[in-house]
Amino acid sequence: MPLAMRMPLGTRDCGQHEWRHWDDDIDVCSHCLAGERPRQPIDVPIDHELRMDLVRRAGEGDDLSARVLDRLHADDRELGRPRWRPPAT
Ligand SMILES: [Zn+2]
């Protein structure tokens, strides 16, 4: 787990927002409570370990991971990227 996810969120602007989706309308910063913006597609590289982790967990029946994956796929479409498929095993 990235260090930032274990740190308590600060109320001051962290100066280097790392965006994640909060809901269908809003993105928030993973580092601070000051960061908030209208939702935008997040460009997660196709071979990013986050995706691999989500695919693995969704495959194990984790509903939240499956929902996040669906969200990433929607972002891919918005970014004009072809739908991601897990690597053949
Ligand atoms: Zn921030």
In a domain, 85, yes or no: no
Does some domain include residue 17?
Answer: yes
What is the domain extent for residue 20? Answer: 3-38
Is 21 in contact with 39 (CB distance < 8 Å)? yes
Q: Are residues 34 and 9 in the same domain?
A: yes
**Would 11 be classed as within a structural domain?**
yes
Check residue 89 and give its pLDDT. Answer: 58
Task: Give residue 11 CA to ligand 1 midpoint distance, Å.
Answer: 9
Q: What's the 87 CA to ligand 1 centre distance in angstroms? A: 33
Examine residue 55 and state whether it is found in any structural domain, yes or no. Answer: yes
Q: Are residues 34 and 7 in the same domain?
A: yes
Distance CA 27, CA 71 (A): 13
Instruction: Tell whether pTM > 0.95.
Output: no
In a domain, 58, yes or no: yes
Q: Residue with structure tokens 């962290």? A: 14
In order of 8, 14, 15, the CA distances from 68 in angstroms are 23, 25, 26
What is the DSSP annotation of 9-61?
Answer: PBSS--SS--EEE-SSSEEEESSBSS-EEE-------TT-HHHHHHHHHHHTT
pLDDT, averaged per 10 consecutive residues of the chain (89 residues), comes to: 58 90 87 91 82 93 92 86 66
Task: Quote the ligand 1 centre to 24 CA distance (angstroms).
Answer: 19
Do 56 and 34 reside in the same domain of the chain?
Answer: no
- Count of structural domains, the chain: 2
